[in-house]
Amino acid sequence: MKRKQSRSETESSALPTQLASQIVELLRTTKRKAEEHLAEQEFADAFRVSRTPVREAFRLLEEMNVLEKRPNRGYFLLRDADAFEHQHLQAGETDDRVYFDIAADRLSGALPERFTENQLMRHYDVSRSRLVKYLLRMQHEGWLERLPGHGWEFQPTLSSPEVYEQSFRFRLLIEPVALLEPGYTLSTDAIADLRNQQQAMLDGGIFSYSRSHTFQIGAAFHETLVAGAQNPFLLESIRRVNRLRRLMEYRLTAGRSRMIQQCKEHLALLDLVESGDLQAASAFLQKHLEGARTQKIGLAQKAGSALTRVTSKDL
């Protein structure tokens, strides 16, 4: 742990939707008013992160018509914060019904790979503005792309218990070994950010965060660990697997209480990395992934899946 990793390297994997939700909740509790200027540094300090993930969260909030970016002036709140419904972002799932309906229909094969906004507006009886909010979110998460000129296209996703298990086997080959790469290092800031996220889960987030929010925290944790290897090929491979497995993870509804142990294991793993005992950290990560595989594959086999289009070649 000699060289300090740059903030951009370690935080590029931290998904901004998590911060976007927290920012909106802070705006609401502090009763911020329309037209107020929002400074990146204020929220970086509040959530103990650098300005980079805050900037990404601001961009997402701009897409959702929460903020507006003005040339040479920064971001401004479009309306009084107490008018926002927190569920519209990540904390709850009531208003996310359409988002999860689309995810479930995509996984079951009920939706074509290519579609237009008008088709989905009719199918889900939703307004264009609300639908576009979800489509932009899906695009940001990596499982949907806008087609040139007209329409949208779903990206490949894991769709069967067998391929899902193969993704775990792939992760077992990559993630523990990444910690043993020469020059492996994580900055103290990156470790602190990850520790804060896991502690927030233990402090109640496990039972209040949505499925998508929970997935994003877990994916960001593992991507950031791999980023410490300073090997872009390893990092991109894990990011791709995470994009592919997102919808399958939504389908699996393990008890949230099981996640308490997972968060505790994440914190123990961070302690090992911070201490510099990377051999022990690698072995611990191997055991952690094996345990997750055993649990998740059992759930996947019970859930089953109708799709068979995506195979191991998509990894």
Mean pLDDT by 10 residues, the chain (315 residues): 39 54 80 92 87 86 82 91 54 64 88 93 90 86 85 84 88 97 94 92 80 87 96 94 86 68 95 97 97 83 49 32
pLDDT number for residue 9: 37
Multiple choice CATH, 161-314, 3.40.190.10, 1.20.120.530, 1.20.1640.10, 1.10.10.10: 1.20.120.530
- Contacts (Cβ under 8 Å, ≥6 apart) of 42: none
Q: Give the Cα separation of 289 and 172 in Å (integer).
A: 7
Long-range contacts at 140-144 (CB < 8 A, ≥ 24 apart): 140/16, 140/17, 140/60, 140/63, 141/15, 141/17, 141/212, 141/216, 141/243, 141/246, 142/243, 142/246, 143/106, 143/243, 143/246, 143/247
Kindly report, as residue ranges, where domains of CATH 1.20.120.530 are found in the chain: 161-314
Multiple choice CATH, 92-154, 3.40.50.300, 3.40.640.10, 2.40.50.140, 1.10.10.10: 1.10.10.10
pLDDT number for residue 245: 87
What is the total residue count of the chain?
A: 315
pLDDT number for residue 176: 98
pLDDT number for residue 113: 92
Domain 7-83 falls in which CATH fold?
Answer: Arc Repressor Mutant, subunit A (1.10.10)
What per-residue string of b and e applies to 48-58 under the rule 16 or more CB within 10 Å gives b?
ebbbbbbebbb
Kindly report, as residue ranges, where domains of CATH 1.10.10.10 are found in the chain: 7-83, 92-154
pLDDT number for residue 307: 39
